[in-house]
A = this chain, B = another copy of it.
Amino acid sequence: MNRLRVGVLGAGRIGRLHTANMEQKLAGVEVVAVADVLKDAADECAAKFGIGRAYGDPADALGDREIDAVLICSSTDTHATLIEAAAHAGKHIFCEKPIALDLGAIDRALTAVERAGVKLQVGFNRRFDPGFARARELVADGSLGSVHLLKITSRDPGPPPLDYLKVSGGMFLDMTIHDFDMARFLVGEEVEEVFAAGSSLVDPAIGELGDIDTACVTLRFAGGALGVIDNSRRAAYGYDQRAEVFGEKGMVQVGNPKAHAALLSDERGKHGPANFHFFTERYAEAFVRELQAFVDAVREDKEVAVSGNDGRVPVVMGYAARRSLELGRPVTLAEVETGFAG
């Protein structure tokens, strides 16, 4: 196959980041159009990267016959609809997470994708971080033996604006969703049950919204392994995302990359740098690898690395965690599915 011709839907921060990566770092791909409901944003992005066409309506990009695939980088509430439309237009799809906060909408989108026979990769970029990817490799190749325990730490430097939090679906669907995906990815098994504990300790205003900002979520995997995720909306020392998989033969720990490798020793001790404060630095490499994987999967007609179902299950886990927090007891994923079906 020739170079994959991509249309980027949404010229905001993440859309521009992907565009820059495609233009500068990826092989086998070219961006032929960018679309944004704010036409100015589309124009500006197209000018900056020398992209031929800028659209003020994503539908125009979907109708563009020279586009093979679209990147859905618009706001979350538009994802599911755009997936459906893109599938109908026969475009392959890369969609930022989450697909939707509504399981019905997700399922309609996935059905459309399946019927159209196009590829869909969901944007769980952390899987492509070299450290997390290496951990998965060690689990998959048997270096750890069977998995007994999983630990994931995920803490942000600071909370998003309250206006954003109001429509975010709550901490489990907005923030922990990444960790739910990581749990499934690292262990390679499904989670059956979730117990969530949460507090509002970072900012009382978050508690007043009915949300939490600090959480511990216990997971039970199908094979009996246990897992725990801890989250905070504010880490004074920067972006903190680590994982640990413990099995019968050993353990792998994934730490944070360092901002630099200089260490000061003085009479008070040894002093190294704080963590990165921006996810674009923390995951710079991961964003590149993620899109390259998508481009390669389409061009070589291979299975995508993060499927539609991989985009769906963490949403179910988020609902289970939310219900567990409300009910004060463990909740199974089956309960959520049933409740949804009912």
Contact = CB atoms under 8 A, between A and B. Distances in A.
Interface of A: 20, 23-25, 50, 129-135, 138, 143, 145-146, 148-149, 151, 153, 155, 195, 197-202, 214-216, 218, 220, 224-228, 230, 232, 234-237, 240, 246, 248-275, 328-330
Contact of A237 (B227, B257, B266): B266
A132 B218 CA distance: 25
A155 B253 CA distance: 15
Number of chain copies forming the complex: 4
Contacts of A224: 199-201
Contacts of A240: 251
A269 B216 contact: no
A177 to B, nearest CB: 19
Contacts of A134: 260, 262, 273
Nearest to A237: B265
Contact of A271 (B131, B201, B260, B271): B271
Nearest to A242: B261
11 contacts: A138-B264, A151-B230, A155-B246, A199-B225, A236-B265, A249-B267, A253-B262, A255-B263, A265-B275, A268-B274, A269-B271
A216 B240 CA distance: 21
A274 B264 contact: no
Contact of A261 (B20, B257, B268): B257
Contacts of A202: 148, 248
B270 A272 contact: yes
B237 A251 contact: yes
B274 A130 contact: no
Chain A interface secondary structure, helix, strand, loop or mixed?
A: mixed
B216 A260 contact: no
Given A218-B197, A218-B216, A265-B253, A270 B226 contact: no
A253 B153 CA distance: 13
Which of A135, A145, A148, A240 gathers the greatest number of chain B CB atoms within 10 Å?
A148
A312 B204 CA distance: 35
Contacts of A195: 195, 197, 218, 330
Given A226-B214, A230-B228, A269-B273, A252 B248 contact: no
Contacts of A235: 246, 251
B255 A201 contact: no
Contacts of A328: 329-330
Given A248-B202, A267-B274, A330-B329, A220 B197 contact: yes
Which of A198, A224, A250, A268 gathers the greatest number of chain B CB atoms within 10 Å?
A250
Contact of A270 (B148, B216, B274): B274
B264 A251 contact: yes
Contact of A135 (B153, B232, B262): B262
A146 B240 CA distance: 18
A228 B129 CA distance: 26
Given A151-B230, A197-B218, A232-B149, A265 B251 contact: yes
A216 B149 contact: yes
